[in-house]
Amino acid sequence: MDIRRRTSLTALTSIPAGLALALTGVVPAQADDTAYVALGDSFSAGTGTRNSTDDCYRSPYGYPALIAGAQGLTLDYQACSGATTADVLANQVGSLGPDTGLVTMTIGGNDLGFADVITECAQPGWLSDCAGAIAGGRAILQNELPGRYDAVLGAIAAAAPAADVRIGGYPHLFNGEDCNAATFFSPEEMADLNAATDELDALVEQKTLGAGYTFVDPRDAFDGHAVCDDVEWVNGLSWPIVESFHPNRDGNIGYADEFWPGSGSAAAATVPADRTAQGVEASVRQEADAVLAMDLASPANLRAAQAAGISPDRITGLVEQLRSADTDVVAGALAELSALDEQHDQRVVAYRG
């Protein structure tokens, strides 16, 4: 393993090493090449692989576990679904030490409200404020996250001075097509979400390189493998809901290869295929339940529909159809809701143009 050695003796380069140690009393940290600590959020915990092991998820098919298995490392799996930079500082960096050889991490998405933004943007256009949700995340990204990242990277440097530290960015989740019947992303919304990801990755790269660490960019590897691509490395709307919009097992293999080239490919044979997909009828029922949870027929939401030029009576009728015992009726209602949303988005684009 290529372990980066960090030392406070750079000002003493002209003094023989033995004399420098005698003068300062500083002993360079000695890392254990096999000691690996995985920090971070759900993208590092393996959420999306449909194999949660605890409240933090920590899947055996998450990229840290794949790297550890392929390279013979001892993994201290600290990454936790839902973690923010504050959680890393409070609950995770304490596992680092002078002997830590490798640290990997993805962090920052939850600071920007990743789950809330996706949930907002997934609603029909006449109900959601996707642009406002993204703007709120961008405000945190620009004004607060830089300082939070400095604090996390500083804590890692202090706790694991000899570690090889590799910080990952996030992939684009969308390709411009929404093929899920229970989500209502417009092409413009998906492009804006990807652009926000680029801005987050740019900050992560800047802070990571500035700290002297390695930035891992997954975007090229995930290109062509977004939600609704022929070979998805990212789940679309899934059940349980927590699995949604996260890298699946193939995506974690791809992530592992980016963090440590060849690790994911080497571990791929140990990752069983995900066989939890639902049948067509069960899937339609789950999609209907997801849309029903949006409460489209509430008084406030019906007023929003009317303000957008959509008949409240039509919405009420479609909601009733979603509760039908006939799967074909349910599927038809989902399709019509998607068509109404597309028509609404087209009117908005035409109005702005």
pLDDT, one tens digit per residue, over 109-162 is: 999 999 999 999 999 999 999 999 999 999 999 999 999 999 999 999 999 999
Query: Can you give the pLDDT at residue 10?
Result: 31
HSE of 102, CA atoms in CB hemisphere, 13 A: 21
Report d(CA 194, CA 28) in Å as an integer.
Answer: 42
Report d(CA 297, CA 262) in Å as an integer.
Answer: 51
**Cα separation values, 145 from 12, 56, 112, 148, 201, Å:** 35, 23, 8, 5, 12
Query: Can you give the pLDDT at residue 277?
Result: 63
Report d(CA 348, CA 353) in Å as an integer.
Answer: 9
Q: Mind telling me the catalytic residues?
A: 42, 246
pLDDT, one tens digit per residue, over 250-276 is: 999 999 999 999 999 999 999 999 877
102-106 sheet: strands from edge to edge? 74-77, 35-40, 102-106, 164-168, 214-216
**Cα separation values, 47 from 44, 102, 168, 213, 288, Å:** 8, 21, 15, 25, 23
Report d(CA 35, CA 96) in Å as an integer.
Answer: 10
Beta strands (DSSP E) in the chain are 35-40, 74-77, 102-106, 164-168, 214-216
∠ Cα 86 90 95 (to 5°): 125
- What letter represents residue 163's amino acid? A
